[in-house]
């Protein structure tokens, strides 16, 4: 921790009074002055050091009391100045945030943005771009759409598929399902049929919590279908649900890479049901659909090409910075009809043929969050991405073999993608918690406890190409 902010900043206005702004220059924060130049130099210097650092620590959370004491009061009427504000961030606030691109960050689903993507994120902010409409951001939208078209092709979707980059998988899933319900409503209306008493959404008991959240937000009934013993949702189980609930079902969700285990549902058997039933097939591939880019895993994803919508988060396994989710529709016009907002001040945008990203999701204001991914992909090429994804898959298999070789450890499931879940014989959740805390305290790794079927375990979520087999072995050794 630094000493630049060891004491609170004194306030300049008495409590309960209204500060005067008579002597404040309203252009100070926007004009290019010597102060502005110094601020920009300060921020760019820090950013350069952080981007090029090879020894950035994992860091760890601090208590509210610690942060209040060390940071002091930073917001007052006069400001504390850029030098001190950055010092507070660098020496107090940043060390209280775990570094997600650290090679030994192995919990949840990590992020490992490329240096090019992180650097270009600065450019996106510095360029002051709005990415909600073609009118205001056509160049940015064009670049984002090139990436979406490339992804659609990788996933086997037809020419013309497209969509938008949104904040994350939760918003992506919700937006796709809103479009799915709108399509079902339009279809019933055209046939002269009323809407059901309550729309129904089918997904696996193993589906991500965001899908259940979407059902709650949309006020639709969630029909949970049991996955098989291997955690995989299959067509026969979905067929039973469709036969029971009939035309009330507007969508079925298949998962390609569950968060806990990285399991890919049997999409082919689920997609085949579209021959007999009318429903929207949505693929929640926030983490795992990326695996389709590697020749090692591509065969697991048969059936994705029949999806009506898919999501994948580049900030997970496609090496983009937070936050970016690619939402892609098979027929983007359905998404456009479902999501275009209408207001008098928007008349100049709506009803025109240009591609405005805000027409395709439950958002209006948006930054062009797909641009850092575009820049990195354009810089390094798709082959580099395939190699990095393949590396994660191979490393997961290799460390799984190491787990198998140790009599005190047990694989909970064979890894399918890049998540390895395992148990230590005789350990309780308290044992895992103490071990996890010690690893972080010693700055060796961030590996959190998890559980399955009531049994505690832990897991490696491997997405960072800089993570090594030796690092993982060292973490296993620490469990002895």
Task: Report in angstroms the alpha-carbon separations of 277 from 246, 251, 270.
Answer: 9, 11, 11
The residues, any chain, with a CB within 8 Å of residue 19's CB and separated by 6 or more, are: 12, 13, 77
Token pair for residue 321?
């910075």
DSSP string computed for 30-52? TS--HHHHHHHHHHHHHHHHHHH
Q: Residues 329-377: pLDDT tens digits?
A: 999 999 999 999 988 778 777 877 889 999 999 999 999 999 999 999 9
Q: How far apart are CA 17 and CA 21, in angstroms?
A: 13
Question: Mean of the pLDDT values across residues 277-295?
Answer: 98
- pLDDT at residue 350, as a whole number: 80
Are 320 and 289 in contact by the 8 Å Cβ rule? The answer is no
Give the percent of the chain with pLDDT over 90: 90
Please provide the average confidence, as pLDDT, over all residues in the chain: 94
- pLDDT at residue 339, as a whole number: 95
Q: What is the DSSP letter of 268?
A: H
Long-range contacts of 115-121 (CB under 8 A, 24+ apart): 115/51, 115/52, 116/375, 116/376, 116/379, 116/380, 117/319, 117/320, 117/321, 117/372, 117/373, 117/375, 117/376, 118/51, 118/321, 118/372, 119/51, 120/371, 120/372, 120/375, 120/376, 121/321, 121/372
In the predicted model, is pLDDT for residue 138 greater than 70? yes
Cα 438 off chain centre by:
28
Whether the model clears a pTM of 0.85, i.e. scores above it, the answer is yes
Q: Residues 205-256: pLDDT tens digits?
A: 999 999 989 999 999 999 999 999 999 999 999 999 999 999 999 999 999 9
Crossing angle of the two packed helices 371-380 and 134-154, in degrees rounded to 10: 50
Q: Which band of pLDDT confidence, cut at 50, 70 and 90, is reported for residue 14?
A: very low
Q: What is the DSSP letter of 303?
A: T
- pLDDT at residue 371, as a whole number: 98
Question: Mean of the pLDDT values across residues 380-409?
Answer: 98
The CATH class, in words, for 382-477 is: alpha beta
The position carrying tokens 């027409």 is 359
The CATH class, in words, for 119-380 is: alpha beta
The position carrying tokens 């359905």 is 334
Q: How far apart are CA 228 and CA 86, in angstroms?
A: 52
- pLDDT at residue 109, as a whole number: 94
């Amino acid at each position: 921790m630094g000493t630049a902010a060891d004491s609170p900043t004194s306030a300049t206005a008495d409590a309960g009074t209204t500060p005067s702004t008579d002597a404040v220059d309203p252009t100070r924060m926007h004009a290019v002055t010597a102060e502005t130049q110094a601020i920009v130099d300060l921020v760019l210097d820090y950013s350069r050091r952080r981007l090029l650092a090879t020894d950035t620590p994992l860091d760890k959370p601090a208590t509210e009391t610690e942060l209040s004491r060390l940071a002091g009061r930073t917001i007052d009427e006069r400001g504390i100045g850029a030098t001190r504000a950055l010092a507070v961030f660098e020496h107090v606030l940043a060390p209280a945030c775990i570094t997600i691109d650290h090679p030994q960050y192995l919990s949840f689903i990590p992020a490992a943005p490329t240096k090019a993507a992180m650097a270009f994120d600065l450019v996106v902010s510095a360029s002051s771009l709005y990415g909600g409409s073609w009118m205001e951001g056509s160049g940015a939208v064009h670049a984002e759409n090139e990436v979406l078209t490339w992804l659609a092709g990788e996933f086997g979707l037809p020419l013309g598929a497209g969509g938008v980059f949104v904040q994350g998988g939760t918003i992506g899933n919700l937006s796709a399902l809103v479009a799915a319900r709108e399509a079902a409503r339009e279809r019933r209306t055209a046939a002269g049929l009323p809407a059901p008493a309550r729309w129904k959404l089918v997904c696996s008991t193993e589906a991500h919590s965001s899908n259940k959240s979407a059902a709650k937000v949309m006020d639709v009934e969630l029909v949970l279908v049991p996955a098989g013993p291997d955690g995989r949702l299959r067509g026969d189980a979905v067929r039973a649900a469709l036969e029971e609930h009939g035309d009330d079902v507007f969508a079925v969700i298949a998962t390609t890479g569950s968060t806990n285990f990285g399991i890919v549902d049997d999409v082919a058997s689920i997609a085949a049901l579209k021959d007999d039933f009318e429903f929207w097939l949505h693929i929640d591939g926030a983490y795992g659909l990326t695996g389709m880019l590697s020749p090692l895993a591509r065969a697991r994803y048969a059936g994705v090409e029949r999806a009506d919508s898919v999501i994948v988060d580049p900030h997970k396994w496609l090496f983009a910075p937070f936050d970016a989710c690619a939402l892609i529709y098979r027929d983007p016009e359905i998404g456009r009809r479902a999501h275009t907002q209408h207001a008098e001040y928007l008349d100049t945008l709506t009803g025109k043929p240009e591609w405005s990203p805000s027409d395709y999701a439950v958002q209006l204001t948006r930054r062009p969050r797909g641009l850092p991914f575009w820049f990195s992909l354009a810089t390094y090429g798709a082959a580099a991405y395939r190699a990095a994804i393949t590396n994660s898959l191979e490393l997961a298999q290799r460390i799984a073999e190491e787990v198998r070789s140790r009599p005190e450890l047990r694989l909970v499931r064979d890894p399918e993608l890049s998540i390895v879940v395992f148990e230590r014989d005789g350990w309780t959740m308290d044992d895992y918690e103490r071990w996890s805390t010690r690893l972080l305290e010693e700055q060796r790794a961030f590996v959190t406890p998890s559980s399955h079927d009531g049994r505690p375990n832990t897991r490696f979520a491997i997405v960072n190409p800089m993570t090594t087999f030796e690092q993982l072995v060292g973490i296993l050794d620490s469990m002895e």
